A = this chain, B = another copy of it.
Amino acid sequence: MLLRGRLRAMGAVALLLLLLLLLVVGFFLSGRDTECERRELGRRGGDPCDLCLLTPRVLSDGLRAAATLDGDPCGSRNLSASSLQPLLPPKCELLHVAIVCAGYNSSRDIITLVKSVLFYRKNPLHLHLVTDAVARNILETLFRTWMVPAVAVSFYDAEALKPLISWVPNKHYSGLYGLMKLVLPSILPLSLARVIVLDTDVTFSSDIAELWTLFARFSDKQVVGLVENQSDWYLGNLWKNHRPWPALGRGFNTGVILMRLDRLRQTGWEEMWKLMARRELLTLMATSLADQDIFNAVIKEHPELVHPLPCVWNVQLSDHTLAERCYLEAADLKVIHWNSPKKLQVKNKHAEFFRNLHLTFLGYDGKLLRRELFGCPNQLPPGAEQLQQALAQLDEEEPCFEFRQQQLTVHRVHLTFLAHEPPPPRAHDVTLVAQLSMDRLQMLEALCRHWPGPMSLALYLTDAEAQQFLHFVETSPVLSARKDVAYHVVYREGPLYPINQLRNVALAQALTPYVFLSDIDFLPAYSLYDSLRASIEQLGSRRKAALVVPAFETLQYRFSFPNSKAELLTLLDAGSLHTFRYHEWPQGHMPTDYPRWREAQAPYRVQWSADYEPYVVVSRDCPRYDPRFVGFGWNKVAHIIELDAQDYELLVLPEAFSIHLPHAPSLDISRFRSSPTYRDCLQALKEEFHQDLSRRYGSAALKYLTALQQSQSRA
């Protein structure tokens, strides 16, 4: 009883002491004119090691790591930034992050950055993305399909900002976009008082909330938090006649910025930086490091505006980086900045460690970040609620559960994963549309040789495979030469191949008026692209037409591709070519009427019949594929029925052909063959499809049902 009393008392004392302490440390840290910072603003230093000595393992991140390059951050002593974590912001506080992102490569980089932030975050986030049209198209789709709880995204049009900065000549590879961080205070909502501004080439290895808390350490006058530059660039001694912009000592790096937007607006930031820029440009011609030069020029003039951040919040991996002086151990690293044009190839002492950290998020399965932020009020993204309910209503015991689940799955989609030049608008141009997964990559080069026109391809990949794919294209002269091929990555989820969802993604992204709906295992005749455009010109635009490209197959591992219809017919007669699936599934192409095609000089019309699944050219506004068909079977058949139901004329082209190359049966077809359940489920899908059909087309759809029943009774 007595003891208990004593302990209660002690507990109270302890906590009072703790609170008192926090007040003192708080003041000690936020005091703008403290020991550390004064030295920093002057000649750097702020070596806090008198403190380290006293408390080897108990030293605030802020105090310790604010130690900068020349001041040994107690390196020789047993000390770690991880030993005491700063207080975090109020639970569930919304944190704001602004990023400028333009073009295809940055749109890939930013995703890895966001993954690393989401992995460690415990707070709701609002991303403010300043994007060009390319990045916006990519990122809007990505975030919509990613469906991460407690993440809001706003877009700001970079085009609109260009006039505000285009007058500043800039030599940096980031071009105009590199300057846009300067105008954020003017374009972000007035309601926004604080924002963390990040370059796309940083990687987090810590909770971004820790960075956010550093706002609390700003003095009243400080408006931006920055980390010292970790190279000697601004010292101007790198090479003869090297004349950098003015900066305070080594200057500051703007890859990570804490912005007090409210204060920046009050202090007339806009005028301030413009004035400074104009003045320096009189003598300096252009900025070398974009916004960073101007920030530094301003700070040189107004040192009181900057709050120096601990260097661990922007560990810069440029070639001659001095970053090593900044951290003692892995635990110290908070944000890695790949601020060298060499990016991951950059060489430095711990390069491999940093690479592994980056690769962790590069290959990280983004869907795992869909985890809700429990402990905070539920903030589901649009559509997520309904999706969860729909999934919850599925019966796990039902034999076709896997199919139902796969149909409901929302896959993350990364449109135009690689750089792409849209084809010039041409009235009769046609895009080849197909989908594939990793095991068909080797088809791409051949396909490029056979089809010189635009292509829209959907790739079904894991995050890690997407990186292998990138490497594959970069190391292939054939593929990297082609800019008219758009690769759209749909991220893998679930056991069944969502074939029609993939086709729809590729189809929706085709930019020409017509599309050739093909499959990845087919190589088109060398002349097909030209002949199709000619045919389209003749009849395509006249009416609702589906131009049939007759399909053949070779069973030979290597064979010489026919250069003409004549050569093809010779090979056909020699038995080294066959009409497609002649042995296994004749009804799939029977209606194409190959005998007639042999003789045909002009396009001829054919009638739909059951199980017909030709490869066709249609206008891009054609009906979409039915996404209910996942895995193997009937996915094209259903689409052709749809076309027929909408009165598309099926016209076989006399000169057109494409040839299927041999490959091992896909996983899905193997499962189809080995599993009765799989076949039953496919059957169920067919029936549902027909019910919908009759709902939409009424009695006109009856013929399809009858045909189905007949073909089944035959089977």
Contact = CB atoms under 8 A, between A and B. Distances in A.
A439 B438 contact: yes
A154 interface: no
A674 B376 contact: no
B350 A370 contact: no
A409 interface: no
B84 A80 contact: no
A360 B91 CA distance: 25
Interface string A357-386: 101100111001111111110000000000
A534 to B, nearest CB: 31
Interface in A651-680: 661-667, 669-670, 674
A556 B88 CA distance: 65
A84 B85 contact: yes
Interface string A431-445: 000000011111101
Given A20-B17, A330-B374, A359-B365, A478 B28 contact: no
A329 B665 contact: no
Interface in A409-453: 438-443, 445
A375 B79 CA distance: 10
Interface stretch (A30-38, A249-257, A262-270): A30-38
A708 interface: no
A159 B18 CA distance: 53
Contacts of A376: 329
Q: Which of A91, A359, A441 has the most CB of B within 10 A?
A: A91
Contact of A374 (B350, B364, B368): B350
Number of this chain's copies in the assembly equals 2
A33 B25 CA distance: 32
A342 interface: no
A15 B478 contact: no
A59 to B, nearest CB: 9
Interface string A523-566: 00000000000000000000000000000010111100000000
A376 B80 CA distance: 12
A12 B53 CA distance: 12
A375 B330 contact: yes
A10 B8 CA distance: 28
Contacts of A330: 122, 371, 373-375
B91 A329 contact: yes
A24 B14 contact: yes
A464 B366 CA distance: 13
A58 B87 contact: yes
A328 interface: yes
A76 to B, nearest CB: 12
A365 B57 CA distance: 32
Contacts of A35: 4, 7-8, 11
B365 A363 contact: yes
A557 B557 contact: no
A118 to B, nearest CB: 11
Nearest to A554: B555
A495 B495 CA distance: 26
A329 B91 CA distance: 9
Nearest to A358: B368
A508 interface: no
B666 A442 contact: yes
A295 B258 CA distance: 53
A390 to B, nearest CB: 15
Contacts of A368: 356, 359-360
A130 to B, nearest CB: 30
B21 A51 contact: no
A521 interface: yes
Contact of A14 (B25, B332, B356, B364): B25
A85 B61 CA distance: 12
Contacts of A372: 352-353
Nearest to A34: B7
A185 to B, nearest CB: 30
A13 interface: yes
A33 B583 CA distance: 83
A476 interface: yes
Contacts of A90: 57, 78
Contacts of A3: 33
A164 interface: no
A442 B666 CA distance: 7
A665 B353 contact: no
Contacts of A58: 18-19, 22, 87
A83 interface: yes
Given A7-B31, A15-B51, A58-B87, 7 more contacts: A18-B21, A80-B88, A83-B87, A85-B85, A439-B664, A442-B665, A445-B674
Q: Which 6 A-B pairs have the closest CB atoms?
A: A329-B375, A555-B555, A663-B664, A439-B439, A662-B662, A442-B670
Interface of A: 3-4, 7-8, 10-15, 17-22, 24-25, 27-28, 31, 33-35, 38, 51, 54-55, 57-58, 78-80, 82-85, 87-88, 90-91, 122, 328-332, 350, 352-353, 356-357, 359-360, 363-365, 368-376, 438-443, 445, 462, 464, 471-472, 475-476, 478, 495, 521, 553, 555-558, 575, 583-584, 661-667, 669-670, 674
6 contacts: A14-B24, A78-B90, A353-B371, A363-B365, A442-B665, A557-B662
